[in-house]
């Protein structure tokens, strides 16, 4: 980095935290640097591999505590877009009906439109401007073919916040899945997948969680099964859960600070 650039960064007033939090906690920076030299989790039974696996599981446990889930239901991804694609394409059945809000990020909108174009799904969009009308509008749209409601929790453009607990209660009562994009709210809003009746929670690690870029989470409630989009890796067993240790050890101290 050039000298002038370094001075500019120190003096920068940064207002783009809704995209990525730039000034990470020192514990996050330390963890990333430390684990640039580490073992490969799941590669073997030597000390370095076991130490890496232990750090990954600690991160998984912290994420589960923070969002009211079980550790075995926490899946690491490389961002929220990947998590949402996994949830939408891997869980919503073909030829079914999907409900979304009128304020979705393209990470929701485009996968849903692809299912409508290629897999015979249909979509209805509810207006979210008036919170007192959301539940009424959604309930009118639910029919016998409705499989899922997918919506964001909070907008990074207007700050509009959806009443996810009430929406989750309605979805559970009607027997449809509730998939939540919490990319902008995770870390600064209280979210509990059991209390809020969320079936799949997707989020980014590099925003309100203060983790490194290249991290995301997909968290499921018990009983939810997602069809995998990718196969391979892990040396011998393609079904073994693996992930990139360096960035996840950077996410772990960020989760710990929030959970504590």
Taking only the tens place, the pLDDT of each residue in 206-225 is 999 999 999 999 999 999 99
**Angle at alpha carbon of residue 81, lines to 77 and 83, rounded to 5°:** 40
- The model's pLDDT over 94-145, given as tens digits with 9 standing for 90+, comes to 999 999 999 999 999 999 999 999 999 999 999 988 888 999 999 999 999 9
d(CA 198, CA 162): 13
Asked whether residue 252 is domain-assigned, the answer is no
**Sheet containing 177-181, strands listed edge to edge, beginning at the edge strand earlier in sequence:** 74-77, 216-220, 200-204, 177-181, 146-152, 97-101, 122-126
Cβ contacts of 89 within 8 Å, gap of 6 or more: 111, 114, 115, 227, 229
Asked whether residue 34 is domain-assigned, the answer is no
CA atoms within 13 A on the CB side of 67: 33
**What residue has token string 């009128």?**
102
Asked whether residue 137 is domain-assigned, the answer is yes
Question: Is 83 within 8 Å of 202 (Cβ atoms)?
Answer: yes
Asked whether residue 147 is domain-assigned, the answer is yes
Instruction: Tell me the pTM.
Output: 0.86
Q: Are strands 74-77 and 177-181 parallel, antiparallel or unpaired?
A: unpaired
Asked whether residue 168 is domain-assigned, the answer is yes
Indicate the number of domains in the chain.
1
Q: Which domain holds residue 162?
A: 72-230
pLDDT at 207: 94
pLDDT at 182: 97
Mean pLDDT of the chain: 87
pLDDT at 95: 98
Asked whether residue 170 is domain-assigned, the answer is yes
């Amino acid at each position: 980095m050039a000298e002038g650039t370094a001075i500019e960064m120190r003096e920068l007033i940064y207002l783009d935290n809704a995209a990525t939090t730039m000034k990470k906690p020192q514990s996050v920076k330390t963890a990333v640097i430390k684990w640039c030299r580490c073992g490969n989790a799941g590669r073997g039974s030597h000390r370095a591999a076991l130490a890496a696996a232990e750090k990954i599981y600690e991160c998984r446990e912290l994420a589960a505590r923070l969002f009211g889930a079980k550790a075995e239901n926490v899946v690491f991804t490389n961002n929220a877009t990947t998590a949402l694609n996994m949830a939408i394409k891997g869980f919503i059945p073909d030829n079914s009906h999907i409900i979304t809000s009128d304020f979705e990020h393209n990470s929701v909108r485009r996968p849903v439109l692809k299912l409508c174009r290629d897999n015979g799904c249909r979509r209805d969009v509810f207006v979210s401007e008036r919170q007192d009308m959301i539940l009424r509008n959604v309930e009118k749209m639910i029919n016998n073919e409705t499989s899922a409601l997918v919506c964001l929790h909070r907008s990074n453009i207007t700050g509009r916040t959806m009443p996810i607990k009430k929406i989750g209660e309605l979805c559970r009562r009607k027997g449809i899945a509730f998939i939540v994009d919490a990319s902008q709210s995770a870390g600064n809003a209280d979210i509990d997948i059991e209390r809020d009746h969320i079936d799949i929670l997707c989020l980014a690690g590099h925003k309100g969680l203060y983790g490194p870029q290249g991290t995301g989470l997909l968290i499921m409630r018990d009983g939810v099964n997602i069809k995998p989009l990718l196969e391979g890796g892990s040396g011998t067993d393609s079904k073994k859960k693996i992930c990139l240790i360096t960035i996840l050890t950077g996410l772990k101290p960020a989760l710990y600070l929030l959970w504590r």
